[in-house]
Amino acid sequence: MDHIFKRKSSGIWYRKWQESDGEKPAVKSLGTKNKERALRIHHQLKDQKERETVGQSTPARVITALQLPLSEHLAAYLYEKEKEWKSEKHWQVTRDRIKKICAEAEWKYIRNITASSFRQWRAKQDLSAKTLNDYLSMLNAFIKWMIESGYVKESPLACISNLKRNGHTFERLALSPAEFQGFIDSIKDTNKRLCYLTVCYTGFRRAEIEALEWGDIRLSSNVAYIAARASTTKNGKEAEQPIPNFLADSLRAFKPIATRQTDPVFDVPTIEVFKSDLKRAGISYKDAKGNRRDFHGLRKMFNTLLQIQGTAPRIAQELMRHSDIKLTMGAYTDTRMLPKYEEVNKLPNFLGVHKTVYKGEATGVQTTGEESTKLQTQSPQVANEYGHKKTFQGTEVHERKMVLEVGVEPTRDLTPTRPSTLRVYQFHHPSANVKQGGGTYLCRAGGASGKIEKITPRGIRDNRGGIP
């Protein structure tokens, strides 16, 4: 079906045609009352359609699209995506970045988008490879939308590939507890001080802390928390972020009396202000290797502190709101701050100089020669074997000093048979001559200082362990 007809009411000729069987016929005005002119236009439209079918002509909608300014296509694209995308921040970044490219590369129409002009624009940018790849990704998504809309047949940037990233251009550093304490102490402005502290105790991103409103902070419940709205979070999901009680108390005191629920909580410092605050505290923004202590590093600091205090990985992942625990345990943990040396020194000693005594094993320890005089401090496991406390505090200092001098752990504590002012221990040295008392030492220490008063290689004659 493809013919023309005239409406009696207006006298204007119309075209009525059907694209394919089963579809509703389309009707369009030819804009003339002259039959001959209407027939001429009709034949031109039919010829155009036939050439498009065999690929010999550009479709009319493509011609129209090529004549429209690129800004109008971008507006239509953003209008559709505003309803589709959950993240308002992503929508805004996409809009700003595509507008930036169009302005700086002088792209006014679709035909202006070329691979060579994009390469020239990219070469002039002082941005990281990751950021430039993000620009390309957003631009490709826009072009894909125009292809799906039938405005272009193929992407003019199809030959453009991402820039290679030779590892990270820099590592994000977290402030150590001592550095952050000095940093906070140097800030007198309450707004900035609480803003930095809130990021430190929640791990909020800059966009999330900027969007924080007083209605999001729930301080009246038994457990204080911040309700992160889906429209403000990176993953587009709501979250309840618990906060320490002491931070909740500070926020209560900071909250203005006359405030609306939609009022922003903080005037978030810019990156330049953050840099100046670091400088005031004597902390460099970059180290010698080019690694940075930036605002996002406070989020990394939050997670690193969780790791140091032994927070379960799954809990840390939930508090960081990560979809992949690899991010929590990897990129967002500053390994410089982990107590690696302390943990290594908790391992048992298998070198023979000092054997850790485990529960159920004999308490005698074998040493040889001069090694016995170089014995390390008695381990907490050994102390537990004798029923003592884990740490050498108070009178237990005596035992540690005698272990270092005698060279072996005590096999017996004889203190109950002695005055309370003394600590008496029995030691057994297997390498000693049995005829000389079986290698048994009796040591006495007195006073709070733990000074060893006497060490004697005399045999013990009775259960009381009398000291000669």
- Per-residue exposure over 139-166, b if at least 16 CB sit within 10 Å of its own CB, e if not: beebbebbeeeebbeebbbeebeeeeee
Residues 6+ apart with CB under 8 A from 358: 381, 385
Which amino acid is residue 346, in one-letter code?
Answer: K
Q: Are 292 and 209 within one domain? A: yes
Tell me: pLDDT of 129 over 50. Answer: yes
Average pLDDT over residues 137-157: 90
What confidence category does residue 413 fall into, taking pLDDT thresholds of 50, 70 and 90? Answer: low
Q: Are 307 and 185 within one domain? A: yes
Residue with more model confidence, 63 or 99: 99
Tell me: pLDDT of 340 over 60. Answer: yes
415 token code pair: 């203190």
80 token code pair: 């559709």
Residue 324 sits in a domain whose CATH number is 1.10.443.10
pLDDT of residue 143: 93
Rounded to whole angstroms, what are the CA distances from 13 to 30, 72, 222, 344?
6, 32, 76, 91
Residue 108 sits in a domain whose CATH number is 1.10.150
Angle between helices 129-148 and 115-123 (to 10 degrees): 160
Place of tokens 């559709």: 80
Does a structural domain hold residue 229?
yes
pLDDT of residue 127: 87
Does a structural domain hold residue 127?
yes
Cα–Cα distance, 450 to 448 (Å, whole number) = 5
Does a structural domain hold residue 14?
yes
Tell me: pLDDT of 395 over 50. Answer: no
Average pLDDT over residues 442-456: 50
Tell me: pLDDT of 87 over 80. Answer: no
Select from 337, 361, 389 the last residue of a domain: 337
Q: Are 386 and 290 within one domain? A: no
DSSP letter at 213 equals B
Tell me: pLDDT of 393 over 50. Answer: no
Q: Which DSSP string do the residues of 103-163 spell out, in sequence order?
A: HHTT--SGGG--HHHHHHHHHT----HHHHHHHHHHHHHHHHHHHHTTS-SS-TTTT--PP
pTM summary value: 0.54
Q: Are 174 and 297 in contact (CB under 8 A)?
A: yes
The pLDDT tens digits for 234-289 are 888 899 999 999 999 999 999 999 899 999 999 999 999 999 999 999 999 999 88
Place of tokens 């169009």: 102
pLDDT of residue 18: 79
Quick one: how far is CA 185 from the chain centroid?
25
What confidence category does residue 465 fall into, taking pLDDT thresholds of 50, 70 and 90? Answer: very low
Q: Total domain count for the chain?
A: 4
- Per-residue exposure over 433-460, b if at least 16 CB sit within 10 Å of its own CB, e if not: eeeebebbbbbbbbeeebebeeeebeeb
Q: Which of 114-128, 165-179, 192-206, 369-383 has the lowest mean pLDDT?
A: 369-383
Q: Are 122 and 40 within one domain? A: no
Q: Which domain holds residue 25?
A: 2-57
Tell me: pLDDT of 4 over 80. Answer: yes
Q: List % helix, strand, coil for the chain (3-state, nearest 5).
A: 45, 10, 45
Does a structural domain hold residue 172?
no
The pLDDT tens digits for 13-55 are 888 887 777 778 888 888 888 888 888 888 877 776 766 565 5
Does a structural domain hold residue 360?
no
Cα–Cα distance, 108 to 69 (Å, whole number) = 6
Average pLDDT over residues 302-317: 94
What confidence category does residue 88 fall into, taking pLDDT thresholds of 50, 70 and 90? Answer: confident
Q: Are 184 and 292 within one domain? A: yes
pLDDT of residue 94: 93
Q: Are 54 and 37 in contact (CB under 8 A)?
A: no
Q: Coil, helix or strand for 84?
A: helix
Mean pLDDT of the chain: 78
Q: Are 49 and 96 within one domain? A: no
φ, ψ of residue 185 in degrees (nearest 5): -65, -25
Q: Are 235 and 196 within one domain? A: yes
DSSP letter at 359 equals T
Q: Which of 55-69, 79-93, 138-152, 258-272 has the lowest mean pLDDT?
A: 55-69
311 token code pair: 């927070």
What confidence category does residue 181 fall into, taking pLDDT thresholds of 50, 70 and 90? Answer: very high
Cα–Cα distance, 212 to 229 (Å, whole number) = 9
Q: Are 303 and 321 within one domain? A: yes
Lay out the sheet containing 217-218: strands in order across: 217-218, 225-228, 239-242
pLDDT of residue 300: 95
Does a structural domain hold residue 361?
no
Cα–Cα distance, 75 to 172 (Å, whole number) = 36
Q: Are 186 and 323 within one domain? A: yes
What confidence category does residue 448 fall into, taking pLDDT thresholds of 50, 70 and 90? Answer: very low
pLDDT of residue 27: 85
Q: Are 250 and 190 within one domain? A: yes
Q: Are 250 and 293 within one domain? A: yes
pLDDT of residue 232: 87
Q: Which DSSP string do the residues of 190-229 spell out, in sequence order?
A: HHHHHHHHHHHHH---HHHHHT-BGGGEE-SSSS-EEEE-
Select from 31, 57, 83 the last residue of a domain: 57
pLDDT of residue 190: 95
Cα–Cα distance, 253 to 74 (Å, whole number) = 46
Residue with more model confidence, 65 or 361: 65
Q: Are 178 and 281 in contact (CB under 8 A)?
A: no
Average pLDDT over residues 368-378: 36
Q: Are 267 and 225 within one domain? A: yes
Does a structural domain hold residue 94?
yes
pLDDT of residue 46: 75
Cα–Cα distance, 210 to 220 (Å, whole number) = 22
Select from 320, 337, 354 the last residue of a domain: 337
pLDDT of residue 266: 96
What is the percentage of the chain residues whose pLDDT exceeds 70? 71
pLDDT of residue 221: 66
Does a structural domain hold residue 156?
no
